[in-house]
Structure 1
Amino acid sequence: MAQRPLDLHKVNQIYDLFEGGAMISEIVTKVGTNRESVRKYLRQKYTPAQKRKIVKRNFKQLKGTSSPNWKGGKEITRVGYVRLWISKTERVMEHRLVMEQHLGRKLTKSEVVHHLNGDNADNRLENLRVTTFGEDIRLHNLERQSKAVS
């Protein structure tokens, strides 16, 4: 059996609630109708792109520390380095920060922090060494050669 159409007041109430950010389940409760009726009227008035725009405008995504995905400001890069969020916009590699704090100064652009055991996530001070870029490449080549021989 077909559902009777809603009166104009209820239809306008559906539109107002939706544009105000209410979810369909909330609209169903407040208007006193069923889910399919609400969906039908929303489909009649809005294109899918318009609905996405309204939902996006009303949806407040949790960011930073309020996000359930927050991991204390640490992330692992594709090659295994630990990157820290210092502020909303600034990120720094943890091994560089550890070495800078140990030395009491900023590292220069020509200084590279080498991980002695080859584990990029192991940022203990005893596993880190400051080198130049050329020295770092030489150390990695020596490690590769020793693995190939054994």
Structure 2
Amino acid sequence: MARKYDHDLICDMYRSGKSIPQICKEIGCTSGAVIPALRKLGIVTRSISDAVSMSRLGSKSKQTHGYVFVRTGKYRRALEHRLVMEKELGRKLLDDEVVHHKDGNTANNTSDNLIVITRGEHTRLHHKNKSPALTDKQKMLVTLYLEGKSPLEIRTALGIKSQSFLYAALKKAGIEPRTSRRRNKQ
């Protein structure tokens, strides 16, 4: 005598993402009971590749620089720290928003370690104590300038044709160029 199974229960379990083998194990039957129950309710069963993809949803993988990715669909994955903050905020992140790890550990994706800031703020935060490296010629130029030499004297001494090169090097070194004072012709 054939046993009767709750078709609605089987249907609900399948729709929640459980595979046919998982359903069989939970309710103690064979696939010969589950598949007909699903078909009777008009449910098209997933292919094996779809079932494998469903089983991988939520799986995590660590990538370069230690960032953790979470599988969110058959061919989709997302950075875990962004998902954590989107859940915390209750909305998607804006295009100009970046999630920053306070402790610098890109694998630590707890909400208390994450903060949402703009791209500009993030760039300033990571580069605030870094000054760009000067070439030897630029260092010499800055030294002469700080000794009080005029831009013309510096350009002549170093064989620089462009005055814009001189001012760009000063700006790169964080030095505000002296303004020249012109006398009014009377």
TM-score range (shorter-chain normalised) is 0.3 to 0.5
Higher relative contact order (CA 8 A, sep 6+): 1
* Structure number with larger C-alpha Rg: 2
